Structure 1
């Protein structure tokens, strides 16, 4: 343990002597957050963002008392701004439209829907989602508004009898449908908050690059052999170096959060513990990825080029640079570390969709564990390369 501590301390001392590294890890993120947050603040007004309406195909076999209220709901002006409904004649036609991306989702309403509602029995419809995640979320929220109304009608029938349906006026819940809140709540963040979260993740990933370059330079310069003169094993030397980068990354994370909070006025919210876990998982993933790249490429320049390109691409695809990326690009972004890490941080910061934030965090933990396992599996090869 003492040997690992000495190697880690020496690694930290070497890194802190490199002005270019300190500039990239500490000054650049703070500068980018300020520039992007100031220059693009006008794009973060929720009222200025007008999303494309979601498209829903409806196959309605029900001709009972609930058909008219549903049609009135879909015909409401506020709903029509957000949802375009197309009536289809069969379930096969609905599925074909979904496959051709002509609609974002499909709804099948059985013939017994109204009958079950009026009798107080269990009733349900079936929703088929397409590939557009955000559009599906929008449709589900709108349908939930109507099912809440139907549930109230059903409750009245169960308590007062079938005659209650006739005197129970449909509750107009469309006034509760606000366009901004139906979209991803991350759009409610200020520009400074948004880029503070996304740039934090991006530069935590960049910090792993120093680990990859350091490991590769040890191989090129054969300096690890000098370390072996001392009573330090190769495994201890590698672990000490990676821990040194991890400690530096945690310091970097703390500096960015505290500085943006005090100077830029960024509110990091009440979930600081969860944000700390996200940062730790990102650091573990970054260092593990660095160790893997150190094996795959033979030179430090190649590692630096590939790693920096990879982080930049992941940040772009996840919306870290351009906020309102298209739906297809957003789908691709789900295969990046930034999507899960930055998405979780921003939701915790804003205290919105916290259930989604926790799900993002669980996925991030899984990615970090998988990358760490991969790095451990090839660690013997890393050791061999340095001997």
Structure 2
């Protein structure tokens, strides 16, 4: 075991003593990520902030003027949404639409007359117990197509409010039905009791709980869309991980050419120990590279990578899969130059297929399934889940795929290297 660790440590030290290598595996991807973030507007203002948009301009027209219409106005103008929405209240719906068309507003929320009464009709307007709406009156969301992210946030707030209203209406109906069936109230009292109960359940006297849920969901969604660094940083880290793996595996052929590998072969160290030691050295260099890049992006860009243990295990598994590809290239090549050429080509192809430059969801189904042969794609899946609030348990599938990929490729590479007369021969 000691010879294996010494070989791994020696290779690790040589890699990080090489200034050119250090530039390529750590400083290069960091600067490339920073440059792409600048081009993509990551540091160009609040629009690129990882916290999502703020002060979304919304114009509200309340033509209802009754309980539910006023409740919705209260939600949109609540202190909990001060940082998210900047509502303006007017009485003219045509002017509200004009402001949206002129790009002065992200959206117009128009509450039509009779909205409250369509949900809770007054006595004599509805059928059974005053809980069945006599007519459908819908809230109008007039959206600005140039601001889809902001519109999505406003729409999610409206949907949450309407869900609360509908839940109150249904709970009121079921409660009154139960009271009548058990003789607690008379059928003629059902309308008054049911309507009062439904309005009470639907009322948003304190919108804090509703807004907290909506703002959190909207913030996650918008952060995913707006913060370009969230997608760039993992993509660049995985892209250059492939370079690190192939460069480290290249040392096998380089040492063969420099006659240092032959000297190792005449010692009591077995060929298997040499291969395992060099593989561990390459693996550790990949892990260290990922840790440095993720740590630096967290401190400098305030990126949230997600669950700590999930990120750590994902780094370990992605590095293992990348090393498997690096060793396979070393086993198939005959010179260090061939490893460098094949490794660079593989790095770029895997970067394109694996989502380092494009969103995998935008690819055709055939290309998407082809991307599954790359550690980049599985790594991006894992990082996306973790960044979205997932835990270690939720990335088991990407982890298993990376482990099986690394194990299978390493086994094949080891078998090829063990049979390679031009390499492991004193």
Indicate whether the TM-score tops 0.5: yes
**2:113 corresponds to 1:77:** no
Q: What is aligned with 2:313?
A: 277
CA shift for structure 1 position 238:
0.6
Matched, 1:159 2:175: yes
The answer to which of 152-161 and 238-247 deviates more is 152-161
- 1:314 aligned to 332, 335, 350, which one? 350
Taking the TM superposition and a 5 Å limit, the aligned residue runs for 1:48-63 are none
Q: From the CA coordinates, give the structure whose radius of gyration is larger.
A: 2
What is the CA distance between 1:221 and its match in structure 2?
6.6
Q: CA deviation at 1:213?
A: 1.9
CA distance in 2, matches of 1:35, 1:161: 64
Instruction: Give me the whole-angstrom Cα distance separating, in 2, the residues matched to 1:228 and 1:358.
Output: 44
Secondary structure at 1:77 match in 2: strand
Provide Cα deviations, 1:133-158, integer angstroms capped at 9, x if missing partner: xxxxxxx9999998877665554443
**What does residue range 191-270 of structure 1 map to in structure 2 within 5 Å?**
191-217=228-254, 224-262=261-299, 264-268=300-304
Once the two structures are TM-superposed, the CA of residue 327 in structure 1 deviates from its matched residue by 2.7
2:84 is matched with: none
Written as runs of structure 1 = structure 2, the 5 A alignment for 1:84-163 is: 153-161=169-177
Match of 1:372 in 2: 406
Q: Does 1:337 align with 2:400?
A: no
C-alpha change, 1:11 and 1:158, in structure 2 (3 Å) is same
Instruction: Provide the rounded CA distance (Å) in 1 between the counterparts of 2:132 and 2:272.
Output: 70
Gaps of 5+ in 2: 55-127, 146-155, 179-189, 205-209
Identify which range, 287-296 or 164-173, moves more after superposition: 164-173
- Indicate if the aligned counterparts of 2:247 and 2:343 stay in contact, CA closer than 8 A: no
Query: 2:134, 2:256 → 1: CA distance?
Result: 72
Q: TM-score, normalised by structure 2?
A: 0.57
Deviation at 1:172, TM superposition (A): 11
Deviation at residue 76 of structure 1 after TM alignment: 4.6
Cα displacement (A) at 1:21:
1.4
Structure 1 residue ranges without an equivalent (≥5): 49-64, 82-139
The CA distance in 2 between the partners of 1:240 and 1:71, in whole Å, is: 73
Does structure 1 conserve the Cα–Cα contact (< 8 Å) formed by 2:238 and 2:356?
no
> Shift of the alpha carbon at 1:186?
2.1
Could you tell me whether the CA contact under 8 Å between 2:305 and 2:383 is conserved in 1?
no
2:242–2:326: 8 Å Cα contact kept in structure 1? no
Deviation at 1:10, TM superposition (A): 2.4
Sort the Cα spacing of 1:363 and 1:326 in 2 relative to 1 into closer, same or farther, 3 A: closer
How far apart in 1 are the matches of 2:332 and 2:137?
A: 61
What's the offset of the Cα at 1:231? 1.0
Q: Does the 8 Å CA contact 2:355/2:380 hold for their aligned counterparts? A: no
Q: CA offsets, 1:247-273, max 9 Å, x none?
A: 2223323332343344x2434466322
Secondary structure (helix, strand or coil) at the match of 2:268 reads coil
Distance 1:67 1:161, change over 3 A: closer
Tell me the distance in 2 between the aligned counterparts of 1:289 and 1:27. 23
Distance in 1 (alpha carbons) for counterparts of 2:364 and 2:157: 23
Q: Please give the alpha-carbon distance, in whole angstroms, between the structure 1 residues aligned to 2:202 and 2:14.
A: 68
Q: In 2, distance between residues paired with 1:337 and 1:208? A: 12
Aligned counterparts of 1:239 and 1:303: Cα–Cα separation in 2: 19
**8 Å contact kept, 2:29–2:236:** yes
Structure 1: how far apart are the matches of 2:15 and 2:214?
53
The 1:76/1:292 distance shift into structure 2, 3 A limit, reads: farther
Count of residues in correspondence between the two structures: 309
Deviation track 1:151-195 (CA, whole Å, cap 9, x = no partner) reads 655544433218689844796999997896585752253x44543
- 2:133 and 2:278 mapped to 1: Cα distance? 69
Cα offset, 1:286, TM superposition: 0.6
Distance between the aligned counterparts of 1:258 and 1:339, measured in 2? 21
